[in-house]
Structure 1
Amino acid sequence: MEPATSDEEQTKVMTLEAFADTIVPGNKRWPGDRAIAGVSSDGGSVAAGALELLNSDAGGLSQWLGGLAGMLNGHAQNYAKDNGISLDESVPAFVSLDYDDRVELVLQLTAWEHPERQGWVNLVMFSNMAWDTGAYMHTVDALAAGHPGLLTLGFAPPDADGLWRFPHYSYGRKLAEIHPNTTETGSPA
């Protein structure tokens, strides 16, 4: 992710990073990193490209991210007030919450009865998707770059030519005959 260019953009980025880190926690990128809570020693959703995926055209959420970040900070302010928490005003409200409070707020926002539930569930899904698929980039490139989610999941690397071939059937038996018109690359003709 490129550095934020305005206070508004920086607030959006930090807030969305903190949200993604709440879903799949990672390690701090530098000692003073406020968006990443640092409750994991491995790379989490942010290191796996959550913001790149959220900002991609394919995701369909990019136009709503500023509004969602603003709403999330508003909810964080209300949560802090309701729970007697003093917020650090030098960072966005959601970023100021400690990890356990971030988790509790996200649980409230994604509860069945919450009227904004779908928007928050969408952010949760994209945060997970970034970590467990590296969806914003080609899988070969993600593995070569050391994508934390794919490596943690044990995703098999491709053959030297960048294609996946599986010499042993995953179910321990052949499930079907290969169609006679299948090309050498595995595509149907």
Structure 2
Amino acid sequence: MRLDQAAPKQDTISTLEAFADTIVPGEKRNPDDHAVAGAVSGPGAVAAGALELLQNPATGLAESLDDFADALNGHALALADRRAHSPAPGVPPFVALSFADRTALVTALTAPGHPERDLWVSLALFSNMAFDTGAHLHTVEAMAAGHPGLAAMGFAAPDPDGLWRFPEFSYGRPLARLHPDTAPSGSLA
């Protein structure tokens, strides 16, 4: 986030965390956690840093996070109204939804033909990316910190010097013979 950019409001933070938790669910951080539904055990997108990634200016979304949250909460209010549910007081409308209702709403928003689909798919992709790659972190640092997504996928740790080398072929065999002019560095001589 740029220094001159205002930090997101608490309602924005919890709404975006609830959205990310809908994409890659995780366990609650504490018993009073409303944003993370606790639909599964183990860490999910929120623990993996989804909010930090979304706040990164490189995503192109950072300046619009309050607008995303406001729109998502508007959709949540409409869903609650259609289902004759009263939103829980004290939490944003999307956060107040059950995990099943959050999932149904996100499914509808990301469905082909929805007029806002591209918006919500981009938010979902970054939420997933935070878990799958730790894109907001240097990979060596993410590995050292035990990044939950990289750990869950069994991402190989780097060599002690912080570089990845793969002395064995990942498919268990070479895919092609080396060109006769290949230098020890792997480049053509």
Q: Same fold (TM over 0.5)?
A: yes
1:1-189 equivalent positions in 2, closer than 5 A:
9-176=9-176, 177=178, 180=182, 183=185
Amino acid at match of 2:98: D
CA distance in 2, matches of 1:7, 1:85: 31
Structure 2 gaps of 5+ residues are 1-5
Q: Does structure 2 conserve the Cα–Cα contact (< 8 Å) formed by 1:182 and 1:188?
A: no
Deviation of the 1:28 alpha carbon:
0.8
Structure 1 pair 115–142 and aligned structure 2 pair: CA distance change class (3 A): same
SS at match of 1:159: coil
Q: How many residues align?
A: 183
CA distance in 2, matches of 1:94, 1:86: 12
Structure 1 pair 18–157 and aligned structure 2 pair: CA distance change class (3 A): same
TM-score where L is the length of structure 1: 0.90
Amino acid at match of 1:80: A
Structure 1 pair 166–118 and aligned structure 2 pair: CA distance change class (3 A): same
Aligned to 2:3: none
% identity of equivalent residues: 57
CA distance in 2, matches of 1:7, 1:181: 51
Provide Cα deviations, 1:12-60, integer angstroms capped at 9, x if missing partner.
0000000000000011111100000011111100110101111112111
Q: Does structure 2 conserve the Cα–Cα contact (< 8 Å) formed by 1:22 and 1:102?
A: yes
Structure 1 gaps of 5+ residues are 1-5
CA distance in 2, matches of 1:27, 1:143: 21
